[in-house]
């Protein structure tokens, strides 16, 4: 087995067996075969080798526009690639594709704690929009209560994913010095409190630890107290 290293706060390194986004996605499939459903909408996922197919009828999902992407599972970066990549020189000189050979960017991009199985259409629509609380009660995705304001470039996820989103942002901020605005910190503190860890969240953290070698301590510490 080949190992590489990923950069973390305080400038020391930790071994793991993932060294690119492709390998991370393969590992994520193994982990999320145990998941209770897709990240935002909770749709049952049917795994066929390297492909995940959401059971849209199972969760009452309504396709907004993109039928092809709605019928496949994609790996959503909770903290979007733009947020941890756009200030790097490689990104400034050629966007995300130009960062694919940048070791530090590759390590952050492939961090399993930040990857979630999402319906492809939701992944596309959310894009790199920041999370927020939206006033509208209207969802364009049927029973999936995902709200996206395309004009304001904001997204409000269903309650089922808010706590995990908050704890992922805290982890990524601590691990890679990613800046979170005060407004978002305040929102994530509320989500972390109102939506505590679930059994699946704890199981997922342990499965990632077995592969990647580190915990998300914002999840792990709560798990030790709760389960």
Mean pLDDT of all residues in the chain?
90
The CA distances from residue 220 to 11, 100, 176, 205, in Å, are 22, 30, 18, 7
8-50 pLDDT, tens digit per residue, is 333 333 444 688 999 999 999 999 998 999 999 999 999 998 8
Is pLDDT of 67 > 80?
yes
- b (16+ CB within 10 A) / e for 164-201: bbbbbbbbbbebbeeebeeebeebbeebbeebebbeeb
The SS3 assignment for 145 reads coil
Q: What is the pLDDT of residue 125?
A: 97
127-151 pLDDT, tens digit per residue, is 999 999 998 767 789 999 999 999 9
Is pLDDT of 2 > 70?
no
Rounded Cα gap, residues 177 and 182, in angstroms: 15
Quick one: average pLDDT of 96-108?
Answer: 93
Q: Enter the pTM of the model.
A: 0.90
Q: What is the pLDDT of residue 1?
A: 31
Residue 143 tokens read as 């029973």
Q: What is the pLDDT of residue 38?
A: 98
Percent of the chain exceeding pLDDT 90 equals 84
1 vs 101, which has greater pLDDT?
101
The SS3 assignment for 90 reads helix
Pick from 93-97, 100-104, 158-162 the range whose average pLDDT is largest: 158-162
Q: What is the pLDDT of residue 102?
A: 93
Rounded Cα gap, residues 211 and 35, in angstroms: 16
Is pLDDT of 114 > 80?
yes
Rounded Cα gap, residues 113 and 66, in angstroms: 27
Rounded Cα gap, residues 132 and 156, in angstroms: 5
Is pLDDT of 6 > 80?
no
Contact 222, 196 (CB under 8 A): yes
Q: What is the pLDDT of residue 227?
A: 76
Provide the Cα torsion 72, 199, 167, 85; round to 10°. Answer: -30
Is pLDDT of 7 > 90?
no
Q: What is the pLDDT of residue 10?
A: 37
Q: What is the pLDDT of residue 226?
A: 79
Is pLDDT of 99 > 60?
yes
Q: What is the pLDDT of residue 137?
A: 67
State residue 77 phi and psi, 5-degree precision.
Answer: -80, 110
């Amino acid at each position: 087995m080949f190992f590489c290293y990923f950069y973390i706060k305080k400038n020391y390194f930790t071994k793991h067996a993932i060294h690119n986004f492709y390998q991370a996605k393969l590992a994520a499939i193994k982990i999320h075969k145990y998941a209770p459903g897709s990240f935002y909408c909770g749709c049952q996922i049917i795994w066929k080798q390297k492909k995940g197919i959401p059971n849209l009828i199972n969760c009452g999902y309504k396709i907004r526009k993109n039928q092809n992407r709605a019928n496949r599972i994609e790996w959503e970066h909770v903290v979007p690639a733009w947020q941890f990549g756009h200030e790097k020189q490689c990104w400034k000189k050629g966007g995300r594709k130009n960062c694919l050979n940048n070791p530090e960017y590759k390590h952050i991009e492939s961090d399993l704690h930040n990857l979630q199985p999402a319906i492809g259409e939701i992944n596309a629509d959310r894009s790199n929009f920041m999370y927020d609380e939206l006033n509208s009660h209207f969802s364009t995705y049927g029973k999936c209560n995902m709200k996206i304001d395309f004009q304001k470039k904001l997204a409000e996820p269903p309650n089922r994913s808010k706590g995990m989103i908050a704890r992922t942002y805290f982890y990524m901020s601590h691990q890679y010095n990613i800046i979170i605005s005060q407004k978002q910190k305040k929102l994530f503190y509320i989500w972390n409190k109102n939506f505590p860890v679930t059994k699946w969240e704890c199981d997922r953290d342990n499965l990632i630890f077995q592969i990647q070698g580190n915990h998300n301590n914002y999840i792990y510490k709560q798990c030790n107290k709760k389960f």
